[in-house]
Amino acid sequence: MPDRTTYVVLPGYQNSGPEHWQTRWEAAEPESFRRVEQADWDHPERTDWVARVDAAVAAAAAEGPVVLVAHSLGCVTAAHWVATASAERTAAVRGALLVAPADVDTAEVPELVNFRPVTLERFPFPAVVVASADDPWVSTERARAFAAAWGARYVEPGAYGHLNSDSGLGDWPEGRKLLAEL
């Protein structure tokens, strides 16, 4: 089996647009970064999203090691996947970059209620949670609690909002450094 790492990209609610750092990373390295395409980005269903992550990890694992690159609801989806995936499947994952995890337990967005509660099971691989000091979708305290529960290192890069296209991160080189550390 070749040892080429595949970065499985897990966007959040309503997907990541063309200026989002996830999309930029995919465009820069399309052979390494693969987005999990969800059936419905605007009306997410937890079981469907988790099943698509499982299928994407299985496909990528056939080619080599896997690293998850999640944003917002993608982080919550990754946590639900970890809680339900087989040990064989999770063993294929070398790490996870979990950026701006959305606190769906407090979000008043009807489309996200079926992701409640956020799973707090420890990840069986190294992970980093990155959360902005002023993220409207998760408090610093809650982001730290997610990191602790998931067994992840916590990084707070400053005040950048939801660490998305609106944050003006561009290619987000700081995120690439964190990814390389996994």
Separation CA 99–CA 144 (nearest Å): 12
Q: Please count the other Cβ atoms lying within 10 Å of the Cβ belonging to residue 39.
A: 11
Q: Is residue 65 part of a domain?
A: yes
Q: Is residue 23 part of a domain?
A: yes
Question: What CATH number is associated with residue 53?
Answer: 3.40.50.1820
Task: Specify the pTM.
Answer: 0.96
Q: Is residue 144 part of a domain?
A: yes
Q: Is residue 1 part of a domain?
A: no
Q: Is residue 157 part of a domain?
A: yes
Q: Is residue 159 part of a domain?
A: yes
pLDDT grade for 172, boundaries at 50, 70 and 90 = very high
Query: What b-and-e string marks burial along 136-167, b requiring 16 or more CB atoms within 10 Å of the CB?
Result: ebbeeebbebbbebbebebbbbeebbbbbbeb
Tally of domains in the chain: 1
pLDDT, one tens digit per residue, over 18-62 is: 999 999 999 999 999 999 999 999 999 999 999 999 999 999 999
- Cα torsion 150, 153, 157, 163 to 10°: value is -30
Provide φ and ψ at 35, rounded to 5°: -75, 135
The residue range of the domain holding 103 is 6-181
Q: Is residue 12 part of a domain?
A: yes
